[in-house]
Chain A
Amino acid sequence: MTTDRVVTATAADVSAHRAAAAERLIGRLLIAVTYVAVGLLAIGVVLMVAAGISPLSEGPPLDLATLGAQLLAGEPAAFLWLGLMTVVAAPIGRVIVAAVAYARDGDWLMVGISLGILAVMAVGVGSALTVTV
């Protein structure tokens, strides 16, 4: 009986320790990705100013196929789009990291919820692409 309690307490301690580490990791990830996004946007804005582009002139839409080439060419809009995509990716990345942490802990309900969130995001992208096309 006593041995069982000790084993349960130890399992709970390990779990809590792992949970705390996962939350710290997710927190740091969010902060780091946000700073990267701000850096990319700042580069885009500086290039925009250098090229004499007004924010009120209509910006080009996102074109993933040519984004790499545009970045190499130093196009301001490419850096801005990469920054904007990084901004949107930050919370999505947080859900993925949390899902992995929950899976390592064997918490399948939370894994299911995490996957549900990602599925809703995927449905949003899919439906928007279908309507646009």
Chain B
Amino acid sequence: MLVGLLMLGGGAVAGGFGSLLGLGGGVLIVPLLTLGFGLPLREAVGVSLICVIMTSSAAAGVYLERHVANLRLGMTLELFTAIGALVGGSIAFLLSERLLSVLFAVLLLYVAVTMARGQRAEPDLDPDLAGPPTLHSDPGGSLTALERLSGDGYRVRNLGRGVVGAAGAGVASALLGIGGGIIKVPLMHLAMGVPLRVATATSNMMIGITAAASAVIYIIHGGIDPYVAGPTGIGVFLGATAGSRVSHRIDLRYLRLLFVVVLTYTAVQLLVRVVS
């Protein structure tokens, strides 16, 4: 009972933090389950993928209803994140726990450094933003592929780079149990010319398919424990929902600083565990 409550509470904290800072929460769920509850890293990654899909689906639903996400661009890139996730999900069961732990620690340090520099993509979505629908078709058939992926006021560029980056994000997601937004948002915004709020919303929508592609493999391989995924998933969902409602009332500067410290400490703990 107590362990279940702790998992639910820990999931809520991870989901809340993730929501407030624009992350899927995967970077916190995996360390929570491995360092906090002693679960093998691969099992923690599987549970994290489930949690990431839950938060992504709920958020993506709202973004699509309000026409913030670019469905057409997201689905095009999703094809390649799904391929990446398929590859990542398959090799995840071949890699040693030690190597996965080192990779995860490197990811945490990368996120911490990026946040500390203040260069991370901000989740500055305006919930009331209503843009044009992106499922629009081309009745005359006169638009080019890039024009058809573009939205109102912006033109998508560097599709090739986006495709390669999306595949890489899929591999990272499957190996480390993260949504991959840390890769996809800067990729779409900086390399492909997509406005930040559209990139954030589109990335959030894409996370569902990316994580689902590898979650299926984890389920079939017995890499997800329902007794762990249940309470943690509910906690993450509640935390993410609460986080999105109070985000405008919280000064994120101090929270981000705290998060940098937590991520760095967690990375060090993971590396210490690998060494010892």
- Name A residues whose Cβ lies closer than 8 Å to a Cβ of B: 8, 11-12, 15-16, 19-20, 22-24, 26-31, 33-34, 37-38, 41-42, 44-45, 48-49, 52-62, 76-77, 80-81, 83-85, 87-88, 90-92, 94-95, 98, 101-102, 105-107, 109-110, 113-114, 116-117, 120-121, 123-125, 127-129, 131-132
Contacts and interface: CB of A to CB of B under 8 A. Distances in A.
A41 B228 CA distance: 11
Contacts of B212: 88, 90-92, 121
B209 A23 contact: no
Contacts of B133: 16, 19-20, 22-23
B169 interface: no
A95 B137 contact: no
A124 B217 contact: yes
Given A48-B230, A117-B75, A98 B221 contact: no
B192 interface: no
Interface of B: 1, 3-4, 7-8, 37-38, 50, 53-54, 56-58, 60-67, 71-72, 75-76, 78-79, 82-83, 85-86, 89-90, 132-140, 145, 148, 208-209, 211-217, 219-222, 224-231, 233-234, 237
A50 B3 CA distance: 14
A76 B226 CA distance: 9
Nearest to B214: A124
Contacts of B61: 26-31, 34
Q: Which 5 interchain pairs have the tightest Cβ spacing?
A: A91-B208, A27-B65, A27-B64, A30-B61, A19-B135
A20 B72 contact: no
Contacts of A77: 226-227
Contacts, number: 228
Contact of B227 (A52, A59, A102, A109): A59
Contacts of A105: 135, 137
Given A30-B61, A88-B215, 15 more contacts: A16-B136, A24-B64, A26-B61, A26-B64, A29-B61, A45-B231, A55-B4, A56-B37, A60-B226, A77-B226, A90-B212, A105-B137, A106-B137, A127-B86, A129-B220
A49 B1 contact: yes
A123 B83 CA distance: 10
B71 A98 contact: yes
Given A15-B136, A26-B71, A41-B234, A91 B226 contact: no
B75 to A, nearest CB: 6
Given A44-B226, A49-B4, A87-B50, A128 B71 contact: no
B84 to A, nearest CB: 10
A84 B78 contact: no
